[in-house]
Each structure stands twice: as structure tokens, then as C-alpha cells.
Structure 1
Amino acid sequence: MANEGILLKLYIEVYEADSKKYSVGFSFRNSLLFEQLKNDTQFLEYGESQFSFDSFLLINNLKSFLFSVIQELNLIEKQPLKEAGNFKILVSTTDDVEMSKDDKWILERTYDEDNRENSLAFKDVKIKSFKEVKLRYLNIEGYIAGY
């Protein structure tokens, strides 16, 4: 992921019984959330003359958290469960700083359900999958968007 660019957005969709339960998007550029995190002392390092914000520390903590959740879920004793829906994580390296609304975001529908072909047409954005974890109770798919 580090070779692809800087993490700008994180988008999470949670599906239940093939219908979207909710979706959340986080923008790390021009973002009140990111500015708040910058002021959190656990992400500050003391420099020569002032405190500085280490965004790599934040991103690595975020990635570590997501992978630890996956690991914990893998260790849970398997119980008869119905097939899970999708939980999608978007990591975007595009320079579009505006968070789109649910129905218009480029990864709202990643493929056509009928023919499984990519149906993305948003400027010249290219989408590729970079991480996929399939569990019976949670499916996680990651995507990178770039030009």
C-alpha cells in the first residue's frame, strides 16, 4: 500500500442479508476527524522545538487494528451461522478530497451482480482489489483507486 500513495479516504460498508445496513466514509484530507486525531497526544511526537503529528503512526495503528480484528474473528469458535454479507474497506489514493454521498460514491457498486463485470465509470479512476478476507460471518474486501 505504501507504494501506491498516501492514504486519503477510508470507506466502510456493512451488509446484512444482501442489503446494505449502513455505510461510513472517512476522509483524511481537509477532514475534521483527521484534525481531531492530529491533536490527540498519543499520535504526537516531541521534535526539536515542537510537537509534530506522525500520520504514518496513525495509519499503521489503523491497519494494525483492522488486521487484529480479522485475527480475533478467525480465532472465534465456529458456530452455525448464515452466510455473511459484505464488509468493504476502500483505501483511496485519489486526489478527490470531497466525500461523496452514498449513492454516488465510485465503489458503491463494484460490479454488476448479473454479469459480474466491472461497471465503474468515474472520470479516469481505475479500481483494483488488494486485500480480501472471506469468513463465514464477515467478508472484508479492500480496494485501491488511482489514476
Structure 2
Amino acid sequence: MTDVLAQGTFDLLHPGHLHYLQEAAGRGDRLHVIVARGENVTHKQPPILPDRQRREMVAALEPVDAAHLGHPDDIFVPVERIDPDVLVLGYDQHHDRKDIADALAEREIDCTVRRASAYEPDYEGAVLSTGRIVERILARHE
């Protein structure tokens, strides 16, 4: 059984999120997803939606076998508990693949790190960024 792990903020779900999770699920038999806690999101605006709501929405997606909230202090705690065979980073996530692989090896987690491909929708107008969704909503309500 190959366990795959994906992780992210997953605020205001969009087709790019679904593409990422479908691709990650295709790399193994069981997909676990860690949903970042809002207080740990420091590389961009904090999530609009509460942690538990974002976890609940991710858990409801067809490719996902289990959704977990991230640890409040150490992002690697749930990774150690899940002990995945493959960790798939999102296409545009800020994490460096080699840095993550090194951190996993340092913690003796035997796991391959991959990066998902970009989602290329076959239709016009797809909004593939939570920030852009928010911008569009604000622009319409000015």
C-alpha cells in the first residue's frame, strides 16, 4: 500500500486544488492531506475560512482518503504520524523540494518528494488562485 501526502492551505477551493489532489492521489493507493492551520500560514494572507471548515471541505473531495489539520507548532509532526511513501508538493507552493526532502531525511522519514504539475484548464476564465477569487469578489462589490 502506497501512502501519499499532500498539504496546503486550501482556502476557497478552486479547480487548481482539485487538480493537485487528483494528481497526488494518482501516485499511490491512499491520499492523506494536511490542511495548514491559519496561524502557520505566514507566506501569504491568512486564510479567510476557519481551519476546521477547510479540513472538512478537503475531506469531502473524492480523491481524499483522510484529511488532517496541521500541527500548531511543528509541521512535521503529522507527517511523522502518517509516514507517507510519497509527499507531493503543489505546483506553486513556496516550499523547496530539496529542503523538504532534506528535512524528511533528517527526521528519518523515508519519503520521496515530488511536485505536482500546473493545471491547464481547457476553458477560458478559470480562476486558480484564492487571492484572485477574493480580488474578483472585492472588485464586484466596490
Normalised by the size of structure 2, how large is the TM-score? 0.29
Higher helix share: 2
TM-score relative to the length of structure 1:
0.28
Structure of larger gyration radius? 1
